[in-house]
Amino acid sequence: MKYKKVILIINSVLVSTQLMFSQINLSNFYKPYQATTCCPVNTYGLELQINYSILDITTAELQIPVSLFWSMMDNLEIGTSVSGISRSYKETVDKGISDILFATKYTFLKEEENKTWPTISAELGLSFPTGNYKKGFGTGGVGIIVLWLFEKEVVLKTQHYFNILINLGYKYNTTNPDNYRFGESLFYSFSSWFNLTDNFRVYFGLKGDNKKRDEYNNKEINNSEKFESYIYSGINYDLDEYRKFFSAIFLGITEDAKDLIFNIGMMY
């Protein structure tokens, strides 16, 4: 009951604030682009995505993340996100929703203003146990997530340029009512993008998620750790000032990683 009360309070705060168009990266790990800075005040956004993953030769998963984003002031964004999930095995299908996420982003420094330092932002998120953790749709407890974002433009002597993107995040999970605690995760991305046209960008890079061992009754569970790494390539096309289309393909390069992930989505 206390989780429901917290969710209702946060929902009330979010609804009472002014809408804005923005993008919080914690909403989805698999979209190709990185939204390093906050968007202008007095605009709003809805992000719809589809992630199709081949976990192994017998298992596939479909996730549909839906995200809403709002503004409170310059350089500060808040948002919420939840995913519908369907996982198919040889003879069965599990369906449900993920844990719900509430997050905020703040931009500390903008490269276009200082010309020397990179753009630096940070995100802070809280996830609440709306997903069935026994089916792998959540953790059963509260998650605390911090993500740092960096972006720097590199100009070559030929006057061509590209951008380097780096993010580094950490998630801590609390113990759920069954005395089970999912291990902490360290996740990261090293990537780059360049323009093909004014509205069309190509992204490529490396993403990873390293999870420590889970615990049951304060004892570590052997072989519950995961080391996932992916190489990816994707595109981002701006339909207009506030709408964008994006898509990417991820290939797992470690034993614990999913074999293949296909991402597609739109920002309104």
Compute the distance between CA of residue 62 and CA of residue 49 in angstroms, rounded to an integer: 11
Per-chain mean pLDDT for the chain:
87
Residues 81, 184: Cα–Cα separation, whole Å: 21
Q: List the one residue out of 123, 118, 88, 116 whose CA is nearest residue 102.
A: 123
pLDDT tens for residues 175-197?
Answer: 999 999 999 999 999 999 988 88
Torsion of CA 186, 206, 235, 126, to 10 degrees: 0
- What's the pLDDT score for residue 123? 96
- For the chain, the domains span 2-267
Cα dist from 134 to 2, 101, 176, 215, whole Å: 21, 19, 11, 14
CATH hierarchy code of domain 2-267? 2.40.160.40
Say what the pLDDT of residue 153 is: 86
Positions in the chain short of pLDDT 70: 1-22, 113-115, 157-160
Provide the CA 239 distance to its chain's centre, in angstroms. Answer: 22
pLDDT of residue 160: 64
pTM to 2 decimals? 0.84
